Amino acid sequence: MSRSDDRNARITRLVRPAVQAVQAYHVPPAQGMVKLDAMENPYPWPGELRDAWLAALADVSANRYPDPTAAALKAQLRRDGGVPDAAGLLLGNGSDELIQLLALALGGEGRVVLAPGPGFAMYRLIAAFTGLEYQEVPLADEDFALDEGAMLAAIARHQPTVIYLAYPNNPTGNAFDAAAMEAVIEAAPGVVVIDEAYEPFCGRTWMSALERYDHLLVMRTVSKMGLAGLRLGYLAGHPDWLAQLEKCRLPYNINVLTQASATFALEHGDRLRAQTDSLRAERERLFEALQVRDGLQQVWPSEANFITFRTQPGRAGGVHASLRENGVLIKNLDGSHPLLSDCLRVTVGTADENARFLVALDAAIG
């Protein structure tokens, strides 16, 4: 047996089948492109704010481990995010780590993760490689609404340990009906996680509902508000739940630079909120511009910082490739889910980036 054959045989024998079956999350290269594929805030910090941030980092002791409790950062997140006083906070290296912590703490043979779909890819991916069964309940065809009846039937059938509800939802951009979400929360036999990654662009939150439901957790990230490079997410909920999740959190998971930088940024949250307001205005202009493109079949309104639209049948791949050739990178959703056939998703950028995208789009669909 050759070395490569021996290596492959060992991998096949030792790596869990569930991991072997999963495709790794792919991030395409974007150097030199107008990058509108990852729901990032496109605005850099103004010079004087950047200088003040760098000055604050000068006092960070990189030779010491970070505060394992991240007390200063948690206090700032509480103030900025309107977290109820009685709720606990758990920090993660992005919301992805929080989803993984939930899977590690609550997973086990025969346990189920339930979510409407199409939804955030990490719910399914992390469930798969941690050995959880993933059950998806399709959204309504035309408007991507939460199907309350189907969700309640799936809850009764599968008795899920964890239910994820994204508010607003990625990749569809809509915020689900509140009454339907309440019905799901009240019927859930396990934990319900409301993912508010795009809350800054929606303006509505379920934080106050933590006082009514002990089994409810609200998850957020600072990525979409302009701090994607810091990789910081947080989970708010009853302290008894978070105490159990803390046991699965690796110590020092939030490094000193992230703790200092996020605390500084949130102290200057008015600057970040001004950028968010600009993006919300750009979102409406971009939505209106896409609606009048004859070469598009459908454009969905969004309460996030992206817009999903459908090309003419069979054209999504070609339009995506043409945009890329013209220096604009967006997300191709075609083939990722039956409800997303011929669909593309564009992140809302600056006015100039959006204009360049529209010029390239006209060339692609013309």
Average of per-residue pLDDT values in the chain: 94
Q: What does the pLDDT look like over 131-151, one tens digit per residue?
A: 899 999 999 978 999 999 999
- Say whether pLDDT at 258 is over 80: yes
Whole-number pLDDT of residue 217: 98
Per-residue pLDDT, averaged over 157-162, amounts to 98
User: Which residue range is the domain that position 23 belongs to?
Assistant: 17-46+271-365
Report the CATH number at residue 277.
3.90.1150.10
Tell whether the model's pLDDT for residue 360 goes beyond 90. yes
Looking up tokens 């760098």 gives: 54
Do residues 363 and 295 lie in contact, with contact meaning Cβ atoms separated by under 8 Å?
no
Same domain, 228 and 179: yes
pLDDT at res. 226: 87
Mean pLDDT, residues 313-339: 96
Identify the band that residue 312 occupies on the pLDDT scale cut at 50, 70 and 90: very high
Q: How far apart are CA 5 and CA 31, in angstroms?
A: 36
Tokens 């059938």 sit at which residue?
157
Q: Are strands 306-311 and 343-347 parallel, antiparallel or unpaired?
A: antiparallel
Residue 260 sits in the same domain as residue 277: no
Q: Is the dihedral of CA 44, 332, 162, 199 positive or negative?
A: positive
Q: What percent of the chain has pLDDT over 90?
A: 86
Of the chain, the percentage scoring pLDDT greater than 70 comes to 99
Average pLDDT over residues 34-60: 93
CATH code of the domain in which 137 resides: 3.40.640.10
Other C-beta atoms closer than 10 Å to the C-beta of 158 total: 17
Q: Per-residue pLDDT for 81 more than 90?
A: yes
Q: CA 13, CA 245: separation in Å to the nearest integer?
A: 31
> Is the same domain home to 248 and 311?
no
Residue with tokens 């394992």: 68
Q: Is the pTM of this model over 0.85?
A: yes
- Same domain for 212 and 96: yes
- In a domain? residue 93: yes
* Residue 59 domain flag: no
